[in-house]
Chains A and B, each alone.
Chain A
Amino acid sequence: MRRIERCFERLAGQNRKALIPFVTAGDPQKEVTVPLMHAMVEAGADIIELGVPFSDPMADGPVIQLACERSLAHGTSTLDVLAMVKSFRESNSDTPVVLMGYLNPVEVMGYEAFARAAAEAGVDGVLLVDLPPEEALEVKPIMDEHALDLIFLVAPTTSDARIKLIGEAGSGYLYYVSLKGVTGSASLNVEEVAGRVETIRNLAKLPIGVGFGIKDAESAQAVSRVADGVVVGSALVNQVDKHQNEPAAINQAISDILSAMRTAMDT
């Protein structure tokens, strides 16, 4: 069984929901990321989404745009990100790691070379924001061959027919984008999300993670009541931004937020 599937199964058995933090790899410096990943697991993270920086993050708001800029300023490459995962795996073989980013840095490596290197490094899933299932026909079998889950987004604007299509094309989990907008946008409407998650459940079999607009323990708790996983990104990356000149403080600041979310989600 793949790591992500196993993770959701274990959580379901415990009647708990997945806490899924996102940070941009190499932000603000390369050496910050691996210790931060361990700290996040320590604070209650079940799955880690690691952002692969891209020069033109079209679906991201200013917080993650700046994170990409900081990371790219000292040349974080896709291979660097894979090296970070490999290093993380030296002392963690349980926590799934999902790479999240845009298609071009993957395409430039070549699908086969990327998939092989990612699997070797210990990556479990890949979420490419600008790759809808219609354009993933070529890459999907290559990811499968290397036991990598290809994770797709579902949006508030996604039709029922598309939800079915996405449910069949993807594996691991579905990432429901809770609002129309970029990352770091305004707060989500929990009732609306609950309704949509129910619709998705009826049309697709995969576990559902919800992201965009989750800022604190309260919103994490509310979403965890309806979804299988809670994704938090900009609220954490904000802390990296705030402490970029004192990286030693980053782990603590992010751990504090995650611990509070974990406690709220588990009560």
Chain B
Amino acid sequence: MSERPDFSAFPDARGHFGPYGGCFVSETLMGALDELKAMYERLKDDPQFRADFDYDLAHYVGRPSPLYLAERWSRQLGGANIWLKREDLNHTGAHKVNNTIGQALLAKHMGKPRVIAETGAGQHGVATATVAARLGLKCQVYMGAEDVERQKLNVYRMKLLGAEVIPVTSGSRTLKDAMNEAMRDWVTSVDDTFYIIGTVAGPHPYPQLVRDFQCIIGREAREQSLKQAGQLPDALVACVGGGSNAIGLFHPFLNDESVAMYGVEAAGDGIETGRHAAPLSAGRPGVLHGNRTYLMEDDNGQIIETHSVSAGLDYPGVGPEHAWLKDVGRVQYVAANDNESLAAFRELTQVEGIMPALESSHALAYARKLAQTMSPEQNIVVNLSGRGDKDILTVAAIDGIEF
């Protein structure tokens, strides 16, 4: 990299990260996005809004989440120290709630009585249903029919929380189709509805505001590293589907030149098989869901179906800031396949007594390889973005166990 940009200065006023990002939506939504942008610009530095957000993160989510040294696992691997940023200990069990708290506060300020969301694994749907219950907002969650089937537990959780889950049967019946359907709802209901997007994708200003809400992860991890390890970490590792947990961890460190960063995509059955969900590793730039980014697409620009054992990573696009960080070389994007991730899931559970989400297991699978190439004086922070309770049925099915 020749000239290092100031990473905190992006996106630009129109939501671009270099050639990526932007606002590619139908005209009906442009007004609503302008309104959201104006409201966010006004509130993001407003002391009362910050105070409300911080209060909820502390007392409702349970922040700060610990930075835990996985001592036994690190020793076994014989390389760098692996520290786990314990987003799995948040209320609702994943990092997703950091963002839904923030967006629900925006919805409240904008006077919208109804929220909608898309969800893949169901974690974002649960986090949305949770804040909607707390604020008394009507909540509808779009979920691919295939995901409804593989994440039954989360579907029921959302229903218990008072949300309506709408199975989406169009297209590939997964996360991307849920997002299409949520956009279609929003275009129809834009007057009274706030669309809570779950990741750092979608039209501007979503990639920016979701990132800003998730940056609490990296700000805490940076402070905790300095305090607990006495230095900045040598490397950060996080899984990347849409990429919200990764950007949340990475962003506060981007201007720290000594910190290496690895975003881990889902290699599914293996990149070489084509059955994966790794657009940064094996896709190319295009436009989908309101932003320009790397996509999994065919030669005609049609979006192709993805595969991952983890529903939360099963998405053909990725947040535009990641696309840009890849091109400028600040973050290395790598991939872990289903088998490696399942092995890491079991290993962490058995060695540390912590059951990670299958999404986070992708980060762990790469971190264990990376640690072995580093020395015991070095430190890696892995974002343990969610807990694995929701995945027990998936893993049991792979083990041939039925309940």
Contacts and interface: CB of A to CB of B under 8 A. Distances in A.
Interface of A: 54-62, 65, 69, 72, 77-78, 102-109, 129-132, 134-135, 152-159, 162, 166, 177, 180-182, 185
B43 interface: no
B301 A56 contact: no
Interface of B: 14, 22-32, 170-171, 176-177, 180, 183-184, 187-191, 286-290, 295, 297, 299-304
Interface residues of B: mostly helix, strand, loop or mixed? mixed
Interface residues of A: mostly helix, strand, loop or mixed? loop
Contacts of B188: 180-182, 185
Contacts of B300: 77-78, 105, 108
A109 B301 CA distance: 8
A101 B171 CA distance: 17
Interface centre among B22, B23, B30, B299 (most CB of A within 10 A): B30
B142 to A, nearest CB: 12
Given A54-B302, A130-B287, A153-B27, 6 more contacts: A60-B184, A102-B287, A132-B24, A158-B27, A159-B31, A177-B27
Given A105-B300, A182-B184, A153 B24 contact: no
Contact of A180 (B23, B190, B299, B302): B190
A91 B191 CA distance: 47
A157 B32 contact: yes
Given A56-B303, A132-B24, A155-B26, A104 B286 contact: yes
B14 A59 contact: no
Nearest to B181: A58
A135 B22 contact: yes
A237 to B, nearest CB: 15
A59 B170 CA distance: 14
B176 A56 contact: yes
Contacts, number: 117
Contacts of B22: 135
- List the 9 shortest-distance A-B pairs measured between CB atoms, nearest first: A108-B301, A105-B301, A155-B28, A153-B27, A157-B31, A181-B188, A55-B302, A59-B26, A155-B27
Contact of B187 (A59, A104, A152): A59
A177 B28 contact: yes
Contacts of A129: 26
Contacts of A54: 301-302
Contacts of A109: 301
15 contacts: A54-B302, A56-B180, A59-B28, A65-B171, A104-B286, A104-B295, A105-B300, A105-B302, A132-B25, A132-B30, A155-B27, A157-B28, A157-B190, A158-B27, A182-B184
B107 to A, nearest CB: 18
A158 B288 contact: no
Contacts of B28: 59, 153, 155-157, 177, 180-181
